[in-house]
Structure 1
Amino acid sequence: MPASSSTTSKPRSSGPSGLTRAYLFAYNTTNLLTWSFCVLYTISLLAPALPNKLHTIFPQTFTPYLLGTQSLAILEVLHSLTGLVRAPFLTTAMQVASRLLLVWGIMVPFGGQIVGGNTTQLGDYAYLGCVSAWGITEMIRYGFFAITLSGNQVPKFWTWLRYNTFYVLYPVGISSECALVYLSLGVAGDVSPLLYWGLIAVLAIYVPGSYILYTHMIAQRRKVLRGKQRAD
């Protein structure tokens, strides 16, 4: 699932210092650059691929670009576990696990079969939905933290993007993820009935889970912006 605005890594109120600050700045900057590359590279391939060659985008962008970039998120679980950031461990682990399920559990084994199929382009659009929703969200999020850790003030427009774009990007990301899981059911069933029913369970969890997280993000947005207004 796309990362929640309330559970992403945040510097402590007094701010990290020394090597910790330098490391977190490097981590966030690296993610900003790699996600920016993924999004821009995908966009550069989009026009030549329309309308009938969308299936060519997946093999050009997934390995190693999207796969490697998304896999870096495992470090966020370690950051939370070790106390480098204030993000709740359980929530962070669940959010990262949902993304890793998509890239390692769906796209790695089944991507070639469910993206670019002969009968439907749904898999192509679902993949592009994931890249765009994940990528834009993460560019904004990691950029926000990189600017903060650099000691500079985050521009107001970036703060607006940070707490408003999820209204659109979150539904796009969730629907795209669900579409990829759904499309993988057939090939997963050929591998193992247990895997098939496991993915059914994932879809059953996604629907109520996404609603709960989405409404929670809206509530947290109101709280954060209300706090900023008081501070101003």
Structure 2
Amino acid sequence: MSSSAPTGLTRAYLFTYNTLNLLTWGSCVVYVASLLPAAITNNKTPSIFNETFNPLLLTQSLAILEVVHSLIRLVRAPFVTTAMQVASRLLLVWGIMAPFGGEIVGSSSTQLGDYAYLGCVAAWGITEIIRYGFFAITLSGNSVPSWWTWLRYNTFYVLYPIGISSECTLIFKALGPAAEIDPLFRWALIAILAIYVPGSYVLYTHMIAQRRKVLRGKKRTD
């Protein structure tokens, strides 16, 4: 995240925050990628969840600060869209993966859940590496390379659908385990799935609008 013209301690804080997230997300993605070849070869993809979830949980939980930054206007990111995106991520890691991971992801009978988990890690991780790296470079006072800007405003076309479909898959697979805890929990997840369609559309179109705005401004300055 970045504001229009942060200075002093605010700039230093935002630089540190974005750099920390860049490093933590980079570590998560590299760690998962390092385990993937052996897991696929030995047909042990469920082991990836068991070995990587705790780092992912910690890394994704840092995103709650995104909402705080937007709320107190430390950055210009819209509060509603920021809160929607962070809430969906926290739902997945704390409300789905943490309580039901062993049933819907980390077991030999849930291969679809394993791939959905990998889809979340890939979509979230790559997106955040690009995003936080973009902001860290900007806040450092350096010019962002054109190829990084291209990644920042184009990769979401592919990564966002992968992330959303993976999230929906995990929520759907959690309906059964949730019902065993409380039928209302299951109905709450069903309601969330129903909200995902219009919510995803809002976020997706927001990103498209942001892309057009930034690239249009960039053309004017070139």
Cα displacement (A) at 1:116 = 3.3
Tell me the SS of whatever aligns to 2:193: helix
8 Å Cα contact 1:133/1:170 also seen in 2? yes
- Report Cα offsets for 1:31-61 as digits up to 9, x if no partner: 0000000000000000110151000000110
Cα displacement (A) at 1:115 = 0.4
* Of 68, 83, 90, the match for 1:93: 83
The change in CA–CA distance for 1:119 and 1:60 in structure 2 (over 3 A counts) is closer
- 1:22-171 to 2 correspondences below 5 Å: 22-51=12-41, 52-63=43-54, 65-171=55-161
Cα displacement (A) at 1:214 = 1.5
8 Å Cα contact 1:11/1:149 also seen in 2? no
Please, which runs of 5 or more residues in structure 1 have no aligned partner?
A: 1-8
1:182 is aligned to 2:172: yes
- Report Cα offsets for 1:205-224 as digits up to 9, x if no partner: 11222123223322321221
- Report Cα offsets for 1:14-37 as digits up to 9, x if no partner: x21111110100000000000000
The 4+ residue runs of structure 1 with deviation greater than 2 A are 116-120
TM-score normalised per structure 1: 0.92
CA distance in 1, matches of 2:57, 2:17: 17
Number of aligned residues:
221
* Of 193, 201, 211, the match for 1:211: 201
TM-score normalised per structure 2: 0.96
Higher relative contact order (CA 8 A, sep 6+): 1
CA RMSD of aligned residues (A): 1.1
CA distance in 1, matches of 2:85, 2:110: 29
Please, which runs of 5 or more residues in structure 2 have no aligned partner?
A: none
- Report Cα offsets for 1:102-160 as digits up to 9, x if no partner: 00000110011100334340000000000000000000000000000000000000000
The change in CA–CA distance for 1:130 and 1:28 in structure 2 (over 3 A counts) is same
Cα displacement (A) at 1:88 = 1.8
CA distance in 2, matches of 1:121, 1:76: 32
Q: Partner residue of 1:5?
A: none
